[in-house]
């Protein structure tokens, strides 16, 4: 699968899980299960994307493209910090936990919107179809490695 298709698919999954957690309809056990699924999906996506996509963007000559890779990594780092705090919380669904969820949702919505416009365009400008396909395959492999390590 081409890298942009894979990223879009992952983004849809993350948004779906965020909506499910934000709905207020889940009991604490279901919320914990959904959060655990969200954390694995997001972490595997982020780590793979950093290794496959952002690393390549940072090697490009154009400063704006390098900056996109760096900015993506910074945003991933912020989200990862929030995920760690949320994971340690004993009371999923508490007011504080819900506040963290809102912040993480806002950060991810911004990140996804920017990535699907700016980064997708940069990928198309700097890499040919073969390279984009190979990046997709590499990302799938990296995601699988992270998911196996998390299991």
What would the pLDDT profile of 116-148 be if each residue is shown by its tens digit?
999 999 999 999 999 999 999 999 999 999 888
Nearest to 105 by CA among 40, 44, 35: 35
Q: Look at residue 96 in the predicted model and tell me its pLDDT.
A: 94
Q: Look at residue 150 in the predicted model and tell me its pLDDT.
A: 76
Separation between Cα atoms, residue 104 and residue 96, nearest integer Å: 12
Backbone angles phi, psi at 91, to 5 degrees: -120, 85
Separation between Cα atoms, residue 57 and residue 52, nearest integer Å: 9
Average model confidence (pLDDT) across the chain: 94
45-93 residue pLDDT tens:
999 999 999 999 999 999 999 999 999 999 999 999 999 999 999 888 8
Separation between Cα atoms, residue 33 and residue 28, nearest integer Å: 9
Q: In terms of residue numbers, what domain contains 50? A: 3-150
Please check whether residue 142 is in contact with residue 51, taking contact to mean a CB–CB distance below 8 angstroms.
yes
Q: C-alpha distances in angstroms, 93 versus 29, 32, 38, 89, 137?
A: 10, 9, 15, 9, 37
pLDDT exceeds cutoff 80 at 25: yes
pTM for the predicted model, two decimal places: 0.92
Q: Count of domains in the chain? A: 1
Please check whether residue 3 is in contact with residue 139, taking contact to mean a CB–CB distance below 8 angstroms.
yes
């Amino acid at each position: 699968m081409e890298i942009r298709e894979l990223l879009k698919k992952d983004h849809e999954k993350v948004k779906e899980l965020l909506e499910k957690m934000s709905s207020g309809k889940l009991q604490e056990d279901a919320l914990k299960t959904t959060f655990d699924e969200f954390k694995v999906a997001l972490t595997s996506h982020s780590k793979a994307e950093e290794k496959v996509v952002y690393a390549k963007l940072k090697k490009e000559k154009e400063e704006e493209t390098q900056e996109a890779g760096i900015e993506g990594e910074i945003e991933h780092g912020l989200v990862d910090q929030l995920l760690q705090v949320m994971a340690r919380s004993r009371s999923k669904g508490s007011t504080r936990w819900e506040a963290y969820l809102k912040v993480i949702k806002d950060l991810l919505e911004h990140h996804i919107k920017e990535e699907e416009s700016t980064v997708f365009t940069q990928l198309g400008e700097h890499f040919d179809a073969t390279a984009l396909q190979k990046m997709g395959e590499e990302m799938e492999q990296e995601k699988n490695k992270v998911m196996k390590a998390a299991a």
